[in-house]
Amino acid sequence: MSQSQSNILKIENIEKIFQIKVSSFKSKNLYALNKVTLEVERGKTIAVVGESGCGKTTLGKVISGLYQAENGTIKFHDQDIAHKKPLQRGFLQKDIQMIFQDPYSSLNPRKKVRDILEQPLKIHTKLDKAERMAAIEKTCLDVGIDLSYLSRYPHQFSGGQRQRIAIARAIILNPELVIADEPISALDVSIQAQVLNLMMDLQEKLNLTYLFITHDISVVKHLSDYVAVMYLGEIVEYGTKEEIFSNPQHPYTKMLFAAVPDIDNPMISEKVLETGEIPSPIDLPVGCYFAGRCPLKDSDCEKEHPLLVDKGDRYKVRCIKV
């Protein structure tokens, strides 16, 4: 029982299928999420990494209710929310909040900061006007927004400040889970550090759980507790940060890490040329999806699709060569 209590979110075999029109009469299934199973521990940060098109953003959207899954379950507070739209989720929706990548498009340009922050309170709480203002002021203090900014519009702020507003909007309802979809990749380097530090401070202060979606491996190393590596709609490797970074097993994880430019290790090896590109998620092969790019591949890999094998100690990997 203790296991399920420490898990805030339990995702099982989630599938999200998009219908892609290939001609006027024919459409094909695109498996954006292919039987994803994942547990999120309370108060921790789980990072979801992968190349674009691997389904990491779709996963965030399914959890937050912006998409509904076709199959599978997402257990949150003992209720399955996988197929429910935000309105059907009722009060559960307030406990899952999202921070988006681009703070230039995620804030309504016609609303003042005060209204942007008041909106979630109006929808989800019964606070009166004065109480709402008090809540807004408290949150502003937490994220470092000057109170005089409340009557300004989003366009009057820089990217970093806008992202602070977006973070304030996400935490104002005291959510349990915050899904951050590439929250710093649109920001300048010197601002990225400010926002990352803020997010980590807030986590400590408010006991937040983060699902951090990113392609930036060094950021993952910095702030996550667990790492899930996704490839073509499925998780290929999962484990604690220490495990994944000290001893990555899946050839895709290794390839991804090798491609990351690092100022302390500024060499590009010739190996990167052999890495190829992510294939189309329509018409996936029968065997391992990664086989086409994998250096370890042999005929076995093309016969059967490998399963995500639980190796114990919270470590899972999907590869028959490990």
Partner 1 sequence: MSEMLRVENLKTYFDTRKGLVKAVDDISFTIEKGEILGIVGESGAGKSITGFSLINLIDSPGEIVAGRVLFDDRDLAHLSEDELSNIRGGEISMIFQDPQMSLNPVITIGKQLIETVIYHNPETSKQDAYKKSVDMLELVGLPAPEKRMASFPHQLSGGMKQRIVIAMALINSPKLLIADEPTTALDVTIQAQILYLMKKLTKEYESSLVLITHDIAVVAQMCDKIAVMYAGRIVEYGSNQDVLYNSKHPYTKGLIQCLPKLNEEKDRLFQIPGVMPSLLDLPEGCYFSDRCPYADEECKIYPETTTIEGRQVSCHKVNQIS
The single residue listed with the structure tokens 């547990």 is: 39
DSSP bridge pairs for 169 = none
Query: Cα separation of 175 and 93, whole Å?
Result: 9
287 binds partner 1 (CB under 8 A): no
Contacts of 96 (CB under 8 A, 6+ apart): 63, 64, 65, 76, 175, 176, 177, 178, 179
> Both tokens of residue 246?
């000290």
Q: Using the rule CB under 8 A, which residue among 258, 282, 307, 322 binds partner 1?
A: 258
> Judged by CB under 8 A, which stretch of 2-10, 34-42, 90-98, 257-265 contacts partner 1?
257-265
Contacts of 94 (CB under 8 A, 6+ apart): 120, 124, 173, 175
The single residue listed with the structure tokens 């993952």 is: 220
Nearest-approach distance from CB 45 to partner 1, in angstroms: 13
- What letters, b where the CB count within 10 A reaches 16 and e where it falls short, cover 13-24? ebbbebeeeeee
Q: Using the rule CB under 8 A, which residue among 109, 277, 299, 313 binds partner 1?
A: 277
273 binds partner 1 (CB under 8 A): yes
**Residues from 176 through 195 that contact partner 1 (CB under 8 A):** 188-194
Nearest-approach distance from CB 78 to partner 1, in angstroms: 34
Site map for partner 1, 79-118, x if CB under 8 A? Answer: ----------------------------------------
Query: Cα separation of 186 and 169, whole Å?
Result: 18
283 binds partner 1 (CB under 8 A): no
Q: Using the rule CB under 8 A, which residue among 255, 288, 301, 319 binds partner 1?
A: 255
> Judged by CB under 8 A, which stretch of 62-70, 91-99, 173-181, 272-280 contacts partner 1?
272-280
Q: Compare residues 90 and 276 and give the one whose CB is closer to partner 1.
A: 276
295 binds partner 1 (CB under 8 A): no
Element (H, E) at 301: helix 299-303
Q: Using the rule CB under 8 A, which residue among 196, 284, 296, 308 binds partner 1?
A: 196
Q: Compare residues 279 and 285 and give the one whose CB is closer to partner 1.
A: 279
**Helices and strands, counts by H and E, the chain:** 10, 12
Query: Cα separation of 73 and 71, whole Å?
Result: 7
Nearest-approach distance from CB 135 to partner 1, in angstroms: 27
Q: Which of 74, 16, 45 is nearest to 178 (CA)?
A: 45
Nearest-approach distance from CB 164 to partner 1, in angstroms: 11
Residue 55 φ/ψ region, left for φ over 0, alpha for ψ in the -120 to 50 degree band, beta for the rest? left
Site map for partner 1, 16-55, x if CB under 8 A? Answer: -----------------------------------xx---
**Residues from 204 through 243 that contact partner 1 (CB under 8 A):** 215, 217-219, 221-223
Query: Residue 207: CA atoms inside 13 Å, Cβ hemisphere, count?
Result: 6
DSSP 256-269: HHHHS--TTS----
CA end-to-end span of the chain: 32
Nearest-approach distance from CB 181 to partner 1, in angstroms: 16
152 binds partner 1 (CB under 8 A): no
User: Which chain residues interact with partner 1 by CB under 8 A?
Assistant: 51-52, 158, 160-161, 188-194, 196-197, 200, 215, 217-219, 221-223, 245, 255-256, 258-268, 270, 272-273, 275, 277-278
